[in-house]
Structures are given as C-alpha cells and as structure tokens.
C-alpha cells in the first residue's frame, strides 16, 4: 500500500489534517503543543485508490521528547512515498519551520507543502512567505471547514508512483486494542512485539497520549495493534480526558481486547476495564506483564493473589508475559485469534434447539400464578458477540435465575464461556 507521512513542527494542525483526510476523529487534538508523540496510522479511501496515512509528532519541539520523536519520524520516512509538510498558514514562519524544511530536503522525498488553518479564501493572499521554504506552491487547507482537501488529495495522487492493481484483495486485520492503567507495560509490550521502539516508553505516567494504530502481520495473519493511553481514575488535564475517551472508543472498535495487567498493581480498574469490554461484546485476553520481575520463588504466591483479585474474570484466558524477555508473545496472538474465531461462532438453529430440549428437561421452568413459561424455539441471528434469541409465550416470566442457568449451559455446552454472548427473550403466541 502507498504510504504518505505528515510532518511539521508542533501545533501546526497535523493531527486535525490527519483526522479530516481519514474522515473521522481518530487522533486526539488539543490546542497545546506535543499532544502527538508517536506515529499514528490510518487508511485513506479515495476514488483513485487507498493509501496509508501516518501522523507524526512535532519536530523541533524543544522538549525532552524531541530526540525520540525525530527518531520515529526518521523511521516513518524510510519507506514514505510522499510527505505532507504542514505549516500554519495563519502564522509567521518560525525557525523550526525552516529546520523541518532543511531536514526534508536531506531526506530527498517528494514533498507537498500544506498551509493549514486557512479558513477563509482571502487569507490565501498572505501565503507568499511560504515560498521561502523551497517547496513550491503551498496548498491552502482548513481542517475545521474541510477546505482544500480535494485539491490536496489530487496533488497526493499526482506524486504517488503508479502501481499495478493487486489481483488478490487485502485481508482485513484483526484489531487488537491494548488497554490498561498507566505504566502497566502496554507500550513496552507493543515495542517488544514489533521488535523496535515504535512508541515512546517512559516511567513517567501518561507518556502515551493517544491511541496508536500499527499494522502488523504474524504468521500470515494481519493484525491492527492499537496502543492506548493509560486509563486513570481521574484525568488531570483535558488532553488526558480526550486520550481516555479515545482508549474507551478503541475498546468499542476492537475485535479483541488485550487487557495488560501489572502483577504488582491490580485493583478495581482492571475489573472495570474488562467489564466495559465485555459489555460492548468484545472478548478479553488478560495479559500479565512484567513477569520477568517476579522472582521464581514468589511466582506461586503472585499467581494466587492475581487469581483472588481477578476472581470475577476467572473465565477469561490469561497470558503471563514479559516485554524484556519476550516470554509468551506468540501465545498472545494465538489466544487472540482463538477468541476472535470463538466470538464469530454460529450455532445452527437445529443444533441449538436440540440443546434447548436437553436444557429444559433438566430444570423446572419458571411459572407465574400457575402459568408456566414455554420456550417455543431459539435461534442465533448474530455473531460478534453471539446473540441468541429465545421465542417464549411470556418474556416477563423469565427469571434472573433461569436466565443465568441458560447462560451457564450455553457457556459450558456450546463452549462459549470465554467470550461475551447475549440472550434475548421475545414474546410469541403459541400456535393453536
């Protein structure tokens, strides 16, 4: 797939441009510098084709992240085919803009100069100084008002090399959301999987400010790994609040959730995150991180404590892993694929109703004032999560105890206890 990378100094509107070209709010945007620190990817679909768009951290930021951000931009530009050099069209050029321009000249990549925040056509008359950057005519755009995007896309396709259309369609990747509390080891885990420092890792909580999508293939199976900001009890800033919202949205958009758990810090937050995912119909793998830090003689005790603290999640698979030693990294993917397939299980109607006759024969059905509940038949209309619809004479007769009985039987007999599934009871008159 073609690759286009957005670069520029901090706070020139790179993430807003990224969101607009994707057609959705994917990156956290705030009017403070340094919100984006890692690489963020998304696929742009157009009439001419599709390309991978990469958002990057602000170059020449002047803060402690400057060197690591530049390393990541260097890596992103290695196989980039076009670079969008974003500059603030409403501000005077800064020394950082000239530094970025010189940096891009050394890279030798095709560059499109994009003037951002040009909300009104009359402001285009003030873009003359941008020619001093040496990249020709700037394209005026406004992410807020969706101005200039068609012209920009046209310019991108003019610079992209022509490729033959691939005969085989691309297989959609399984989306894995990596979630957890701050400093649980999420970014370290992602870097260990990729074999490179793709996202910045620091002992300082809140280093990851946004959900970071990374396309990855493991044993022929494509994945999209989504590293998310650590979820605190109470966000301290607007940026943190926006990042947490994106983390929760990443859970809702995922196929499988990897809940990363620090074995030395386990509490209600892990239970709430798992429950949020399960309520949204997402399977969850419990990834116990930093296992290399647990001494061998202490491991049985730590396992017992984890079992007690995560008792309500006992039915979920768990993988003990280490980003440092790379222990069990492959098993994370095998468990994720297994849960993905399990969550897409479809039980044929005939088989489901055979089981239903077995289940109802083993239990006394609820009744109301002497009138019994009757289950006429069941079917499964949906997957991900599997949803079972029971047609009954009186839905209001279904008790909590009987519903839990059916859930236990479906989990055990149909092998679905590791994934969330839903039960729906609908009224239907008996045929006379």
CA–CA distance, 352 with 354 (Å, rounded to integer): 5
Angle between helices 329-343 and 186-194 (to 10 degrees): 100
Higher-pLDDT residue of 362, 216: 362
Looking at every residue in the chain, the average pLDDT score rounds to 86
Question: What contacts 236, CB < 8 A, 6 or more positions away?
Answer: none
So what's the pLDDT on residue 209?
A: 45
47 has pLDDT over 90: no
Give the residue from 173, 171, 340, 342 showing the smallest Cα distance to 258: 340
What are the pLDDT digits (tens) for 164-200? 555 445 566 899 999 998 888 888 898 888 886 654 4
Asked if pLDDT for residue 42 goes beyond 50, the answer is yes
Residue numbers in the known binding site are 8-15, 55-59, 180-187, 227-231, 289-292
Checking if the pLDDT of 325 tops 50, the result is yes
Tokens of 269: 């937050």
Q: What are phi and psi of 331, to 5 degrees?
A: -65, -30
What separation in angstroms does the CA of 273 have from each of 180, 250, 283? Answer: 7, 12, 12
Mean pLDDT to the nearest integer, 264-272: 91
Buried b (16+ CB within 10 A) or exposed e, 60-84: bbeeebbebbbebbebbbeebbbbb
CB atoms within 10 A of CB 169: 6
- What is the DSSP-derived secondary structure letter of residue 366? P
Cα-based angle 324, 286, 331 (whole degrees, multiple of 5): 60
- Binding-site residues from annotation for GTP: 8-15, 55-59, 180-187, 227-231, 289-292
Whether the Cβ atoms of residue 225 and residue 216 lie closer than 8 Å to each other: yes
Residue 135 has a pLDDT of 94
- pLDDT for 167 equals 44
What is the reported pLDDT for 386?
A: 96
Over residues 308-316, the mean pLDDT reads 94
88: part of which helix (H) or strand (E)? strand 82-88
Which range is least confidently modeled, 119-133, 209-223, 241-255, 355-369? 209-223
Provide the 8-state DSSP code for 430.
P
pLDDT confidence of residue 94: 92
Nearest to 221 by CA among 283, 171, 178: 171
Q: pLDDT per residue over 59-116, tens digit each?
A: 866 666 677 788 888 888 998 999 999 999 988 999 999 999 999 999 999 999 999 9
Q: What is the pLDDT of residue 76?
A: 86
**Contact call for residues 83 and 110 (beta carbons, < 8 A):** yes
Q: What is the pLDDT of residues 412-429, one digit of tens each?
A: 999 999 999 999 999 976
Q: Distance of alpha carbon 56 from its chain centroid, rounded?
A: 17
Q: Give me the sign of the Cα torsion angle 144, 147, 150, 154.
A: negative
């Amino acid at each position: 797939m073609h690759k286009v990378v957005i670069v520029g100094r901090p706070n020139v509107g790179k993430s807003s441009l990224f969101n607009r070209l994707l057609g959705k709010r994917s990156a956290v945007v705030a009017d403070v510098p340094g919100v984006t620190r890692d690489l963020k990817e998304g696929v742009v679909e157009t009439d001419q084709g599709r390309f991978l768009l990469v958002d990057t951290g602000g170059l020449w930021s002047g803060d402690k992240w400057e060197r690591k951000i530049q390393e990541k931009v260097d890596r992103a530009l290695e196989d980039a085919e076009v670079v969008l050099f974003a500059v603030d069209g409403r501000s005077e050029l800064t020394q950082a803009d000239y530094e970025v321009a010189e940096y891009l000249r050394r890279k030798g990549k095709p560059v499109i100069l994009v003037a951002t925040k040009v909300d009104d056509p009359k402001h285009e008359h003030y873009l003359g100084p941008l020619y001093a950057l040496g990249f020709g005519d700037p394209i005026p755009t406004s992410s807020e008002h969706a101005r200039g995007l068609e012209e920009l896309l046209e310019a991108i396709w003019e610079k992209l090399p022509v490729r033959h259309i691939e005969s085989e369609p691309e297989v959609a990747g399984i989306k894995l959301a990596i979630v957890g509390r701050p400093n649980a080891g999420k970014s370290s885990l992602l870097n260990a999987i990729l074999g490179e420092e793709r996202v910045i890792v620091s002992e300082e909580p809140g280093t990851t400010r946004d959900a970071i999508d990374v396309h990855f293939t493991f044993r022929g199976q494509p994945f999209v790994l989504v590293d998310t900001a650590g979820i605190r009890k109470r966000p301290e800033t607007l940026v943190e609040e926006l990042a947490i919202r994106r983390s929760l949205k990443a859970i809702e958009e995922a196929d499988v959730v990897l809940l990363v758990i620090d074995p030395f810090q386990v509490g209600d937050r892990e239970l709430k995150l798992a429950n949020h995912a399960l309520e949204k119909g997402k399977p969850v793998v419990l990834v116990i991180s930093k296992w290399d830090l647990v001494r061998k003689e202490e491991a049985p005790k730590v396992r017992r404590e984890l079992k007690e603290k995560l008792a309500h999640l006992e039915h979920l698979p768990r993988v003990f892993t280490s980003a440092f030693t790379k222990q069990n990294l492959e098993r994370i993917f095998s468990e994720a694929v297994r849960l993905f397939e399990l969550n897409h299980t479809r039980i044929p109607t005939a088989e489901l109703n055979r089981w239903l006759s077995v289940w109802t024969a083993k239990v006394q059905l609820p009744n109301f004032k002497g009138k019994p509940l009757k289950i006429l038949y069941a079917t499964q209309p949906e997957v991900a999560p599997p949803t079972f619809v029971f047609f009954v004479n009186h839905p209001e007769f279904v008790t909590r105890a009987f519903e839990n009985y059916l859930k236990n039987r479906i989990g055990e007999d149909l092998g679905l206890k590791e994934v969330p599934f839903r039960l729906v009871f609908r009224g239907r008159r008996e045929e006379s």
